[in-house]
Amino acid sequence: MQAKKKFFRLLNILCAALVLLIPCSALATGDGNMDGGGGGMGSGSGASWWDPGEDGVRVTVVDAGTGEVRAAPQDFSNISVGSVLHFGKVSKISYRSGTPLTLRSGSDYHYRTPATRMPAIVSSGGSSNIEAIKRYWCSEYAVKMVADAVGIPYATLICGDYKLLVEPMAYFHFRGNKYAMTATEAALYDQKSDGKLWNDMNALTHKNLPLAIFLEYGDLGFPAWTGSRTERTGNANIISALGIGIVKFQEQRVEVDEPADFEYRVDTDVVTSITLRSGSDLTPDNPASVTFHIGDRSYRVGNIVIPAGDSQVVWVKWHTPSTPQTVSIRADVTRGTTSQTYITARVVDLGENPPPDPKATDTNPGYSVPGIPSQPQRTSASWGVWSCYWVPPVYPEEDEEDEEIIPGYWAYRYHWYSAGISGHMTLSPDDIVPTAVGKTMKSGYGVKINVSGSLNTSAPSSHYSMAQTAISSFPEFRYQTYNRLLQRSGGLNFSFGFRPNEYSTYHRGVHFTPVWFPDHSRYTVYTRVWDAWTPAGMLSVNVSDYVNIQGNLYDDWYSARE
């Protein structure tokens, strides 16, 4: 055993030395938002164990502004992994957006082995290796390795439009099988398996793996970790805040204290949430409460129960003002802690800009039909709430004099909620277009729209707001500048349509296609449905549909003469 410990100490020294061999000029390529911790490992139990050094990282290229995944995640490891059970290549940001945890067989697990060895990722002796990890993944060598793996040119990757999500991974044996998991996957799996990972492997899965890398400051909607750097923690903390680092380029640093934490639309039902953590059991005897102060109103959320070392979101549902403004929100907490007690919400006007009056004499020589926009959407989310119940004491039978009383205690349940939004759009010629056939019409006439969909959720109405906003853009303006705010009807099952057009002779709810739009082409309208709010953020869905253009309305005015 002593020889084995000396071997791993020597291996760590060699790893650090290899990192230092990376050219110094390369170290300025990225800016690492990473910190780390960890503690003693102890040992596994029975058929469950982890060998130090059997670790790696998952790297995902995301949009620097929205966090949308831009390339398939890639796994990197120094070791020969072999066949392992795994959950595919899914990033923490995708799990946050609602991607389910799906176990797969080991035969299809693929990873890459760097030519220049990575430093140890997961601590095995209690000391964090975060500085070496940060140097490595901010280096020119590592960023070029990622660029090659995902097929994005290096110069494009570092231009400032992208960030790298770096998640620590571990390869370990659990009850007879070998698994590959990120920290987030381990926490999600532990929830599904009723705490079996915690029972067998908590020093790895709930301490050294999630604490290997976490954020110094909040970014992309993930908070900085302010809890213990050396102690085990709960699944909710891991899922929300641990096991993630971010590499930025060209000083794309997001400060903790940003001008606005949330952006909402005017006159809209919204949900504002914070994450409440507790180092001790919060029970019905000593619950926490949070009071949100918004403008001249206060909203109190009481009777919050959380087990020691864990967390949950706490939220308020409220209605935004009817005029654009900045709203300051203060969250007063009794018991428990939160990293965000002051929130700045920017309330904005959506900025509808209806198109001008179309003319029969309008022309647009040289026009080509643009592609449909590809903009981020979030169609699902999940969150949860703790509840607490009393397990009464167990008293010995009368003839069992030596038996001790088993005291009563508070036990906890975590109630998962979820929400998903779906949408469908139908674009068709207006009912009074005289020569339309199905989806084919002449240009210059009006089109009508029906955007329908539903918000499906398992939560009470106090948890969410219905989809409230839809806005359409048009190909003749290259889906820019001009748009139409749609008129809403319905509840969870919603429908949107055009408002009456001020330029319509019959006051129809239509949009007029330009008379010059090219023949034999599709006229496609693009619509974004927004403002379905949950404690886990806003859900949105993008939809589109088309009509076929063949000829123009002048053709219907022509009369043949002898």
Question: pLDDT by residue (tens digit) across 28-69?
Answer: 367 888 888 877 665 556 789 999 999 999 999 999 888 999
How many Cβ atoms sit within 10 Å of the Cβ of residue 56? 25
CA 22 to chain centre: 33
The answer to whether 213 and 243 are in contact (CB under 8 A) is yes
pLDDT over 50 (residue 5): no
For residues 98-115, give the mean pLDDT.
85
Q: What is the pLDDT of residue 168?
A: 94
Q: What is the pLDDT of residue 399?
A: 66
How many alpha carbons lie under 13 Å from residue 184 in its C-beta half-sphere? 30
The predicted-structure confidence for 441-488, as pLDDT tens digits, reads as follows 999 999 999 999 999 998 999 999 999 999 999 999 999 889 999 999
- The C-alpha atoms of residue 532 and residue 491 are separated, in whole angstroms, by 11
pLDDT over 50 (residue 289): yes
Residue 555 in 3-state DSSP? helix
Residue 131 in 3-state DSSP? helix
Residue located via tokens 């280096």: 139
Q: What is the token pair recorded at 341?
A: 């007690």
pLDDT over 90 (residue 519): yes
Output the average pLDDT for the chain. 87
The answer to whether 383 and 535 are in contact (CB under 8 A) is yes
Residue 562 in 3-state DSSP? coil
pLDDT over 50 (residue 120): yes
For residues 414-439, give the mean pLDDT.
96
In the chain the domains, ranked by start, together with CATH numbers, are: 2-248 (no CATH), 262-348 (2.60.40.10), 419-557 (2.60.40)
What is the amino acid identity at position 172? F
The answer to whether 151 and 162 are in contact (CB under 8 A) is no
Decide which of 425 and 29 is more confident.
425
Confidence band for 105, pLDDT divided at 50, 70 and 90: confident
- The C-alpha atoms of residue 354 and residue 375 are separated, in whole angstroms, by 21
Decide which of 216 and 340 is more confident.
216
Residue located via tokens 């592609």: 371
Number of residues that this document lists for the chain: 562
The predicted-structure confidence for 225-283, as pLDDT tens digits, reads as follows 989 988 999 999 999 999 999 999 874 443 334 467 889 999 999 999 999 999 899 99
For residues 87-104, give the mean pLDDT.
91
Q: Which residue pairs, CB below 8 angstroms and at least 24 apart, start in 503-508?
A: 503/357, 503/358, 504/446, 506/432, 508/430, 508/432, 508/446, 508/448
The answer to whether 384 and 417 are in contact (CB under 8 A) is yes
Q: What is the token pair recorded at 479?
A: 């889906």
pLDDT over 80 (residue 125): no
Cross-strand pairs, 242: 214
Q: What is the pLDDT of residue 23?
A: 32
pTM for this entry: 0.58
Reference 416, options 388, 390, 389, 386; nearest CA is: 386
For residues 102-121, give the mean pLDDT.
85
Q: Say which range, 332-346, 414-428, 433-447, 482-496, has the weakest mean pLDDT.
A: 332-346
The answer to whether 547 and 428 are in contact (CB under 8 A) is yes
Q: Say which range, 135-139, 203-207, 321-325, 395-399, has the weakest mean pLDDT.
A: 395-399
For residues 99-113, give the mean pLDDT.
84
For residues 354-366, give the mean pLDDT.
85
Q: What is the pLDDT of residue 362?
A: 85
Reference 507, options 432, 444, 443; nearest CA is: 432
The predicted-structure confidence for 523-557, as pLDDT tens digits, reads as follows 999 999 999 999 999 999 999 999 999 999 988 87
